[in-house]
Amino acid sequence: MSCKMCEKQKNIKDDPYFIMELETGYVILGWFQRFKGYTVFNCKEHGPELHNLEHSFKIKHLEEMSIVAEAVSNIFKPDKMNYELLGNGCSHIHWHLYPRVKGDTPIVSSVYQLSNEELFDESTRPNEEQREEMKEKIKNEIVRLLSR
């Protein structure tokens, strides 16, 4: 069985978008920032469904996902966070954490009403300086929240 994400995670720390490792997953800045602050949280364990995870690991994973979302929310101050665990394309648990603001899409609904061209628009990719600044802010806020 081969899984793209399991393969990628072997060298995840070399990824320029990698932010930090938590106990149950890896925090990665979204490649495209059409939604400013978009962050991904990849589970360390392979599996398509939350209920496949061992109970205490699952609870910890959900808590850490919530902390990552809280950090993103504190920094980017959206009107609402979206927590998306989809996995239709890659059945390895990974969360798309989207900060949403009023009027950021034509219809008040999920980000996936936008075309791939718009979601993955190269002009929304942060440059190196922006990327490093966002990563640093998110990391610092996660560390702060974890130390409470």
Binding site for Zn ion (CB under 5 A): 3, 5-6, 46, 92
Q: Residue 37 Cβ, how far from Zn ion at the closest point, in Å? A: 25
Minimal distance, residue 46 CB to Zn ion, in Å: 3
Sign of CA dihedral 120, 123, 128, 130: negative
- Please report how close the Cβ of residue 50 comes to Zn ion at its closest, in angstroms: 14
Q: How far is the CB of 70 from Zn ion (least distance, A)?
A: 26
Q: Please, which residue, 28 or 75, has the CB nearer to Zn ion?
A: 28
Tokens (6 digits) for 53: 């995870």
Of 17, 92, 13, 23, the C-alpha closest to 52 is: 92
Our CB check for Zn ion shows the closer of 5 and 114 to be 5
Q: How far apart are the first and last CA of the chain?
A: 40
Q: Which is nearer to Zn ion, 6 or 101 (CB)?
A: 6
The sheet that has 80-85: what strands, in order across it? Answer: 18-21, 25-29, 39-43, 94-100, 80-85
Rounded Cα gap, residues 90 and 112, in angstroms: 16
The closest residue (CB) to Zn ion is: 3
Tell me whether residue 35 or residue 95 sits nearer to Zn ion (CB atom).
95
CB–CB of 135/19 below 8 Å? Answer: yes
